[in-house]
Structure 1
């Protein structure tokens, strides 16, 4: 697998108001809200996207339910590594599966046009291997 760049990073939030107060008001990161509860900054130097992602939305995008499964450790943050093509996402899933990693979500095109797959790192990060067309 060849990673092109880090597409985004951020905490997975459980308390949206507390998260907004810390990351927005506390650290001074300007946050936009393109979807209810999803706060993002796509102009922060050093990363393509920094976003506060509610746990319920991460669960829905990964498992199709707003509830995080009880048998999967709850992640503290997310990071997405972008690859060169949509096909490279599926190739990465096959490579990760062959190496014995538990893939939580196979390569899937999201409603917003990004193709994603997801797994948990040993440290508990929700890791995406993605193709984000508008970032290429």
Structure 2
């Protein structure tokens, strides 16, 4: 097996409008719309990013619009890589001006990554990050 890249990533949400607003309006990602699904192809660092309504995920997995109560609802975490530590701090300031609350301010982890994190409307832990080893 020779895995080449991340083929795709999508948050799964009960609040597609709120989630799309975070990713499109607050973070500035150029999402397209196809019915209720919002996405962008060719996302840097991955091949795809999407905002997937929970009802569509349930339809795809179980052939019904409701997620089965006996199966834990899906969630995810994602980190958006920025140019440097100063860019992380600037992004946090910019998002705070737009009303975003953060779980913690930008900080440098023991392994050298600078990151600030917040929760998205769909319960995804989102990081704004600078990992120096990704820029070498």
Equivalents in 2 of 1:21, 1:62: separation in Å? Answer: 25
Question: SS at the partner of 1:53?
Answer: strand
Question: SS at the partner of 2:8?
Answer: strand
Count of aligned positions = 79
Which sections of structure 2, spanning at least 5 residues, go unmatched?
A: 79-123, 125-136
| Greater Cα offset, 2-11 or 12-21 | 2-11
Higher relative CO (Cα under 8 Å, sequence separation at least 6) belongs to 1
Which sections of structure 1, spanning at least 5 residues, go unmatched?
A: 80-124, 126-136
Name 1:54's counterpart in structure 2. Answer: 53
Name 1:45's counterpart in structure 2. Answer: 44
Q: Give the RMSD, CA atoms, in angstroms.
A: 2.2
Higher strand share: 1
Name 1:23's counterpart in structure 2. Answer: 23
Equivalents in 2 of 1:51, 1:9: separation in Å? Answer: 6
Larger Cα-atom Rg = 2
Whether the 8 Å CA contact 1:12–1:78 is kept in 2: the answer is no
Q: Normalization by structure 2: what TM-score?
A: 0.53
Runs of 4 or more, structure 1, over 4 Å off, are none
Question: SS at the partner of 1:25?
Answer: helix
Equivalents in 2 of 1:78, 1:10: separation in Å? Answer: 10
